[in-house]
Amino acid sequence: MRLGLLLSWPTVSLLVLVTIPFILLLRISIAPHDQSGMWSPGVTLRAYGTLAEPELLGALLDSVELALAVAALSLGLGFPLTYLITRMRRRIQVVWLIFLLTTLSLSDVLIAFSWQVMLSKRIGLSKIFVALGLMDEAASLTPSSGAVIACLVYLVLPFTVLTLFPVLSRLNNDLIEAARTLGASPVRAFVTVVVPLTKRPAVIAFVMAMVLTVGAYVPPLVLGRPQHWPMAVLIGSAALAGHDLPRASAMSIFLLAATLLLALLTARVARGRVRP
């Protein structure tokens, strides 16, 4: 009886928090558009008919590219960072984790605005680059894809570290020490021992970073060029400015399907490589 209750709780939450909203989304996506009330009763496939447009497919590609770039960069940065943190003394580890957790409490709107200021001509990073001799004169670094990616990596990095931390901190030190005594350099020990042992959580961290980025709205809007606005921005435009909720819902389902496909594909590719 108690077991049944426990089992049913996740089922109920899944139903309430995921399934019902999704059914509503599906329902609205097949409703006719209404200029005054956002959507009206009835059934039509009009909204899906508007999806086959070059700017939507372009935006979908932009979303996927952005997600892959951000996921790759945050794993590339996050993995060594987490590894370094797990090798530190316990107390310093806690400080690092608290610091990373704290950044999660900042809103992404605030973070995007901070990057906008940081990348500006007047008081931004470019002044430091000029002082270091990396740039000839101060220039504005937005709008650009680099700015969007930098901001998103900042947003996603804590999730990457927190996903990898439990596994990396439980990593058996003896294995690394054995590799080192047998003559492997620290880098070689990391690549040949640590990386293969942690492939699974790394793939999870990668997929999670990707999924988080696919829905990015504020950073591309504030820091990116309109030519590279991802799907989420266009969905916002259709729903909030265009008052076309059915079309926005159809676009969301389209993006959801694409994201699911991408995540499955990534997991499959990774699994294929892990097999001997």
Partner 1 sequence: MTDKSSILARPETGGRTSRRAVLRGAGIVAATAALQMPFIRPARAARSLKVSTFGGYFEQCFAKYVYPAFTKASGIDVQSIEQPEGAQFLFQLAEANKAGAPPMDVCCMAAVDVLRGRAQNLWRSFDPGRIPNFSQLSARFLTPGPAFDNVAAMSWFMTFVVNPEELKPLPDSWTVLWDKHPNAWGILSGSSSQIFEITAKVHFGSIDILMNPEGIDQVIAKIAELKGNVKLWWQDEGTMQTALINDEVVGGTYMHDTAMVMIKNGTPVRSIFPKEGAVESTNLWCQPTSSAKIDEAQEFINFSCTPEAQQLIARYVGSAPVIDRAKLNLTDQEFAAVSSDRPSIPAATEARFKNTDYMERQFIKMVTS
**Sites of contact with partner 1 (CB under 8 A):** 33, 35-38, 53, 55, 58-59, 113, 116-117, 120-124, 140, 142-143, 221-222, 226-227, 229, 234, 237-245, 247
Tokens found for residue 24: 């509503």
State in angstroms the smallest separation of the CB of 52 from partner 1. 14
State in angstroms the smallest separation of the CB of 130 from partner 1. 15
CB nearer to partner 1: pick between 218 and 262: 218
Q: ∠ CA(188), CA(191), CA(197), 5° rounding? A: 130
* The dihedral formed by the CA atoms of 106, 109, 110 and 112, expressed in degrees to the nearest 10: 110
State in angstroms the smallest separation of the CB of 113 from partner 1. 6
Tokens found for residue 211: 């999924």
What is the bridge-based pairing of β-strands 38-39 and 33-34? antiparallel
- Name the β-bridge partners of 34: 38
CB nearer to partner 1: pick between 44 and 120: 120
Q: Is 162 in contact with 212 (CB distance < 8 Å)? A: no
State in angstroms the smallest separation of the CB of 221 from partner 1. 6
State in angstroms the smallest separation of the CB of 120 from partner 1. 4
Tokens found for residue 148: 């969007």
Alpha helices by DSSP H, the chain: 2-14, 20-29, 46-49, 54-86, 90-103, 108-118, 125-131, 145-169, 173-181, 186-189, 195-197, 199-214, 218-223, 231-236, 245-274
CB nearer to partner 1: pick between 104 and 240: 240
CB nearer to partner 1: pick between 33 and 64: 33
CB nearer to partner 1: pick between 138 and 176: 138
State in angstroms the smallest separation of the CB of 262 from partner 1. 21
CB nearer to partner 1: pick between 116 and 163: 116
Task: Render 74-118 in DSSP notation, one character per residue.
Answer: HHHHHHHHHHHHHTS-HHHHHHHHHHHHHHTTS-HHHHHHHHHHH
